[in-house]
Amino acid sequence: MSAVAHTARMLPGGPVAEAVLADVRARVAALRDRGVIPALATVLVGDDDASAGYIRIKQRQAAELGFVSPHEHLPATATQADLHAVIAAFNADPAVHGLLVQYPVPGHLDYDRALQEVDPDKDVDGMHPLNMGRLALGMPGPLPCTPAGIEALLAHYEIPVAGREVVILGRGATLGRPLAMMLAQKRPTANAAVTVVHTGVPDWPRYTRRADILVAAAGVPGIIQPEHVRPGAVVIGGGVRYEGRRLLPDVDESCERVAGAITPRVGGVGPTTVAMLFRNAVAAAERARSRMP
Ligand SMILES: NC(=O)c1ccc[n+]([C@@H]2O[C@H](COP(=O)([O-])OP(=O)(O)OC[C@H]3O[C@@H](n4cnc5c(N)ncnc54)[C@H](OP(=O)(O)O)[C@@H]3O)[C@@H](O)[C@H]2O)c1
């Protein structure tokens, strides 16, 4: 039992993910009706139990949504060239619409380099440099999953973003940087005044304390304490660190006493991230269908 009095409104990611996945399921069914079987390929390198578990969960969910998921499992001794060859084969296969390389890969391999080999049209993570460039330019394309999930979560709970001040702690490529680009864009679920703080801003609490919406994206357990939160603010916990299987969030639980609304320690941003992966995958299959004669 937690000793913390829960005063803030909770913002679980589960219902957001369910709404997104209901839409994905319908779109997958519509594609199947037109003879296209959406395929999300997965690649796993090595024998890490946790990674194998994550892949299994995604494959199960893919099957439940109506995707097929061809899978390639490379041994831990695979070379960078081996990994690139598998990616190239999936890139070349017109029956494969999306491609996911499970993170992490064994230490001798360069994951970021491998991601650059993925066909940008099949990039369900939305992290390919071309897609990050599209995001920066406001062009359509697959969006990075974690920030897209946060925008969807804010929209789902009808939390006004436009015209309000969003402060993001962290400028990492996965979360803080793309989220800042997204929430500053001119559309109804964004259009915010966005400030990004990081280790180069030692007095970052000065900024977080004035935020209407505070997003933790640092990966430093407990870095956000109640004194960093404006009373009544919306607090989104994106950053986490794993110690073994234990998940340690950036946002200390005691922030629930100060925040007006807050994501739960577990089941907040995580489920929305996975839902966005499938949203990117079905969109990739739809794009492929639209290119067919
Ligand atoms: N919930 C999910 O589904 C999900 C999915 C993906 C990622 N994540 C989490 O999101 C977090 C961010 O990932 P990322 O790859 O975007 O970031 P990252 O590359 O790990 O960067 C972390 C950022 O936080 C800043 N930071 C770290 N310690 C700080 C401190 N003491 N004071 C101020 N700023 C600090 C860093 O500042 P500098 O730039 O100055 O170093 C950096 O900008 C990670 O915890 C990751 O696990 C969660």
Comparing 267 with 245, the larger pLDDT belongs to 267
- Using CA atoms, how far apart are residues 109 and 190, in angstroms rounded to an integer? 37
> How would residue 5 be classed by pLDDT, with cut points 50, 70 and 90?
low
Which active-site residues does the annotation give?
58, 102, 125
Comparing 203 with 246, the larger pLDDT belongs to 203
User: How many residues are listed for the chain in this entry?
Assistant: 293
Ligand 1 center to 218 CA (angstroms):
3
pLDDT tens, 212-226? 999 999 999 999 999
* Binding site residue list: 170-172, 240
DSSP line for 139-151: --SPPPHHHHHHH
Ligand 1 center to 215 CA (angstroms):
11
Residue 201 CA: which ligand 1 atom is closest? 33
Q: Residue 126 — left, alpha, or beta (φ > 0 → left; ψ -120 to 50 → alpha)?
A: left
- Using CA atoms, how far apart are residues 214 and 202, in angstroms rounded to an integer? 17
| 2 pLDDT more than 90 | no
Ligand 1 center to 204 CA (angstroms):
14
| Beta carbons within 10 angstroms of residue 28's beta carbon | 23
Tokens 């789902």 sit on residue: 156
Domains and CATH numbers, the chain: 36-126 (3.40.50.10860), 144-271 (3.40.50.720)
* Binding site residue list for NADP(+): 170-172, 240
Task: Please give the model's pTM, rounded to 2 decimal places.
Answer: 0.95
Residue 218 CA: which ligand 1 atom is closest? 24
pLDDT tens, 101-113? 999 999 999 999 9
pLDDT tens, 87-102? 999 999 999 999 999 9
pLDDT of 244 reads 81
pLDDT of 6 reads 59
Q: What are the residues whose beta carbons fall under 8 Å from the beta carbon of 67, sequence distance 6 or more? A: 28, 38, 39, 40, 278, 281
- Using CA atoms, how far apart are residues 79 and 193, in angstroms rounded to an integer? 45
Q: In Å, how far are 30, 137, 288 from 35, measured between CA atoms?
A: 9, 34, 12
pLDDT of 149 reads 98
Strands (E) located in 133-252: 165-169, 193-197, 213-216, 234-237, 240-243, 246-249
